[in-house]
Structure 1
Amino acid sequence: MTSRRKTSTEKDHPEKDDRNDTTHSASGKSNITPAVPAAVIYKLLGFTLAMVVGPIGIYFMTLNTIFRGNSTWAGATAAITANVVLIAYVIVALKEDESDKLAAEEKARKGL
């Protein structure tokens, strides 16, 4: 069997193409803005922490104080807490998406 040889028209680095680098802006300066804003990352970290600490904390807090050792009810309360955190995250995400749409519409209106 023979191996395939590269011809002179093939690129040596297929992941690198001949187009302009997208990290530079029109003025030629480097554009290093993050793909995700910091506020979004902080919200995600906050809700992640709430999803971990909230249900576990509620479970152990209610196990012996409110439900007197009944782990079924304490577990149900922890599950409800996890659902509340999840619903709150969805609401915050939808409001953020809505505000982005409104800002884009207002920017388009000002541009006209």
Structure 2
Amino acid sequence: MATRRIISQEKTLLDQPDPNSISPSSPPQKSNIAPAVPAAVIFKLLAFTLAMIVVPIGSYFATVNTLFNGNSTYAGGLAAVMANAVLIGYILVAMAEDQSDRLEEEKKRKQEGKKDL
């Protein structure tokens, strides 16, 4: 296996200046304290997680003796269908949210373009 020699004139990774460091000549930068993930996204994820637990189990126990007269196979099948319905619902909500974010960005770009003219 070949290795790369470090030439003494080259700067190593440790010798290179840190791009995040603040030098006295540069103006102070505004820090970004915004959360990495918006709170609305976390709440949607928690809601769908709770629904993924409650809806299939609830549909099983609600229908096993009332709708299917004790046939647990049909009630289990309905629970599986309901789990898939919750999953598909989550995917649709996530896709709609992604599209709305794109539309907002495009709207901002158009408004910035009009201001520049």
The TM-score by the shorter chain falls in which range? Answer: 0.7 to 0.9
Corresponding position of 1:100: 101
Corresponding position of 1:18: 18
Structure 1 Cα separation of the partners of residues 28 and 41 of structure 2: 28
Corresponding position of 1:3: none
TM superposition shift of 1:44: 0.4
Corresponding position of 1:5: none
Matches within 5 A, 1:11-90: 18-20=18-20, 28-90=29-91
Residue-by-residue CA offset, 1:52-78 (whole Å, 9 max, x unaligned): 111011101111111111000000110
Residue-by-residue CA offset, 1:24-77 (whole Å, 9 max, x unaligned): xx8634322111000000000000000011101110111111111100000011
Structure 2 Cα separation of the partners of residues 84 and 47 of structure 1: 11
- CA RMSD across the alignment: 2.5
Q: Aligned with 1:64: secondary structure?
A: coil
Identity across aligned pairs (percent)?
57
TM superposition shift of 1:111: 0.8
**How many pairs align?**
101
Q: Give the aligned residue type for 1:19.
A: P
Q: Give the aligned residue type for 1:38.
A: A
Residue-by-residue CA offset, 1:61-112 (whole Å, 9 max, x unaligned): 1111111110000001101101111111111011101101100111110111
Q: Give the aligned residue type for 2:61.
A: F
Distance 1:78 1:102, change over 3 A: same
- Scaled by the length of structure 2, what TM-score is found? 0.74
Structure 2 Cα separation of the partners of residues 105 and 46 of structure 1: 29
**Following superposition, which runs of at least 4 residues in structure 1 exceed 6 angstroms of deviation?**
none
> Does residue 109 of structure 1 match 2:110?
yes
